[in-house]
Amino acid sequence: MFTDPTHITPAGRPGPVLVIGSANVDVAVTTATLPRPGETVFGDSSAISVGGKGANQAVAASESGVGTRLIARTGEDAFGDMIRDGLARRGLATDDVVALPGVATGLAAIYVEHSGQNCIVVVPGANGRLLPADIDHAAGLIESAAVLVLQCEIPLQSLYRAIEVASAKGTPVLLNPAPCQGLDLARVAAQLSYLVPNETEAAQLLGRPVESLDDGRTAALQLRRLGVGCAIVTLGALGCVAAWGAEVRHFPAPEVKTIDTTGAGDAFVGCFAAGIAQGRLPAEAIRRAIVYAALSTTRRGAQVSYPDRAEFEAALVASAAGGG
């Protein structure tokens, strides 16, 4: 049974994109093929850069042209300072990216194959100290946001609390269920205006493989039936499938020379949220987000690979002219 989709129509709700989520430092290595359990392989490059799904999505939203706030936690360490410096360089305020004593900044170990695929292990550290009380403290910010963006690298109790507060305040919620380990989707689905899993997360949420365009269509419809306003399943090079209202649509991705897909999903989510905050309809917000995410895969790293506003505008023009 589908819910009334009217709450996904942006209707020009004013305000910034508010992201509540993780901020990490990413330690990334590249290798020809990912190691199997018990195997040691040689890599050929390494990099330490800023990341975290929350921070990445906030940067993507801001570079897509909307005011953006980020609520996150770091340790009182050099990595925490690195995160705040990175955000400030992208024009984001860091007042709500608070350094906490006695805990390390979140860290992600990222392995990137030459094919561009990656796998990630996240040690949450300070992200685990973003607590339900902090969410209550941010109720005013949640109320004044055009859209609240969440992922699952903070405690699930804080995530549920944020969804509750946003629902009570009438603020649309976009959940990127990553990683979706332990998430009780049934508990929150009806309060989500947008749910944006990748194919792996959609498969985990639904308990069946999502490997093709057809699987993506079925998954988007099944997620929508849980009560979500708009379900968007991202499918890497295949683009994404979105279900909202009575529609299920495939949005192809532009062809680009992909070298690293790390953070591409976050680029999509942040840019899509910006589109919604700008009052765009879902289809237009999705088309823009696909261009933004595709461009991010042509460079190494997560947040550091994201286009700035000028590059994004140029890419949109090229894409409209058929230039990919």
Output 122 or 232, the one with its CB closest to ligand RIB: 122
Before 179, cis peptide (omega within 30)?
yes
Distance, in Å, from the CA atom of 269 to the CA atom of 292, rounded to the nearest integer, reads: 10
**Residue 255 phi/psi, 5° resolution?**
-80, 125
Cβ atoms 279, 26 nearer than 8 A: no
Q: How far is the CB of 68 from ligand RIB (least distance, A)?
A: 17
Output 165 or 294, the one with its CB closest to ligand RIB: 294
**Could you confirm whether 266 is annotated as catalytic?**
yes
Q: How far is the CB of 127 from ligand RIB (least distance, A)?
A: 9
Length of the chain: 324
Distance, in Å, from the CA atom of 237 to the CA atom of 234, rounded to the nearest integer, reads: 9
Output 254 or 263, the one with its CB closest to ligand RIB: 263
Site residues (vs ligand RIB, CB under 6 A): 22, 24, 26, 51-53, 56, 108, 120, 122, 153, 262-263, 265-266, 302
Q: How far is the CB of 142 from ligand RIB (least distance, A)?
A: 22
Q: How far is the CB of 247 from ligand RIB (least distance, A)?
A: 28
Q: What is the DSSP string of 101-161?
A: TTSPPEEEEEEEETTS-EEEEEE-GGGGG--HHHHHHTHHHHHT-SEEEE-SSS-HHHHHH
Q: State which residue has the least CB distance to ligand RIB.
A: 51
Distance, in Å, from the CA atom of 205 to the CA atom of 175, rounded to the nearest integer, reads: 13
Output 153 or 215, the one with its CB closest to ligand RIB: 153
Distance, in Å, from the CA atom of 315 to the CA atom of 110, rounded to the nearest integer, reads: 27
Output 59 or 162, the one with its CB closest to ligand RIB: 59
Q: How far is the CB of 279 from ligand RIB (least distance, A)?
A: 27
Q: What is the DSSP string of 235-284?
A: -GGG-EEEEETTEEEEEPPPP---S--TTHHHHHHHHHHHHHHTT--HHH
Task: Indicate which residue of 4, 44, 266, 308 is catalytic.
Answer: 266
Q: Write out the catalytic residue numbers.
A: 266
